Amino acid sequence: MKSETPDSIHGRLLESAHISGYSFGRACRNLEWLIDEDRWKTVGQGFEDINDFLATIDLSHFKIAIEQRKQLSKKLAAIEATEREAARLLGVSAATSHRDRLASNEAKTDPISSVNEEEDDLASNEAKTDPPPPTQSGEKAEEVAGKKAHRTQFTGEDEWYTPLEYIEAAREVMGDIDLDPATSEFGQNRIKAKKHYTIENNGLDEEWQGRVWLNPPYSQPNIDIFIKKISKEYKAGNVKEAIILTHNHTDTGWFHRAARSASKICFTKGRINYEGPTGEIAHPTQGAAFFYYGTKTEKFISIFQQFGFIR
């Protein structure tokens, strides 16, 4: 008889979130201490500026959140919770829950979990016997892949796919797509970037090169982390050209950060209807914006003006 229930796992998830949130909040409050120029010379060693320092803090907490989710997913598997129950309790999609379950089966070591060997074995067996979600296979998967292309799968409700016409327009402007740093294997059926990163091989730890298509996860703090990353890589000369698709949240800090690096911005006329992995259509409550980083501004204007107005 198992001592833990899905609700008790959920309680520990909330407790972990509060601890992480408190830690991050305290770090932010202490930033006032860094304003002193002499102290910043010591604390800021190795960082380009205060924004680089903040981006590193954000990224660290983002990675912790991913690891916590994966370990809690493993514990839910150990008490025989279904993938659907795990998805509900952890606040992620069924597809993300399924990937976590498979990853727990493949992992040879577990650096931060305190689960015992019996629980590890049970989680591994659960991953082997749980069938993949029906929405990702067969005729339905082929139908979705044929109609829509991409949306990042980094966490939960971030899993949506961009209509193919926008992908092809970006490819026409840049000539090709060398890198898609926030994608899924499913999305790459149509994007076909020369190199890509998924949640399993986190591209935030890697150097980005060449011509980049980026549709970052829209949840916070993820979108801010990705915008900081691509802006830094472009400024360093590693990214030669990029097209970024986001919501047109002009009141946010990340939007203004992206705008400062962009050569042109296309504000869409109307809204982009994204499609989920099961074929459902998402109707966003706001419009979208395409940021162009690069020197081919006239080509970008000529191709993207069909989607909206450009500034």
Total domain count for the chain?
2
Confidence of residue 130 (pLDDT cuts 50, 70, 90): very low
Give the separation between CA 133 and CA 284, rounded to whole angstroms. Answer: 25
Determine, yes or no, domain membership for 1. no
What confidence score (pLDDT) does residue 81 get? 78
> Full-prediction pTM beyond 0.75?
no
Specify the DSSP element, H or E, that contains 21. helix 6-29
Identify the three-state secondary structure at position 266.
strand
Determine, yes or no, domain membership for 274. yes
266/210 same-domain check: yes
Q: Residue 66: which domain range?
A: 6-129
What confidence score (pLDDT) does residue 77 get? 80
Give the separation between CA 273 and CA 104, rounded to whole angstroms. Answer: 33
35/81 same-domain check: yes
199/178 same-domain check: yes
End position of a domain, from candidates 129, 162, 183: 129
Q: What percent of the chain has pLDDT over 70?
A: 59
| b/e code 194-226 from CB counts within 10 Å (16+ = b) | eebbbbeebbbeeebebbbbbbbbbeebbbbbb
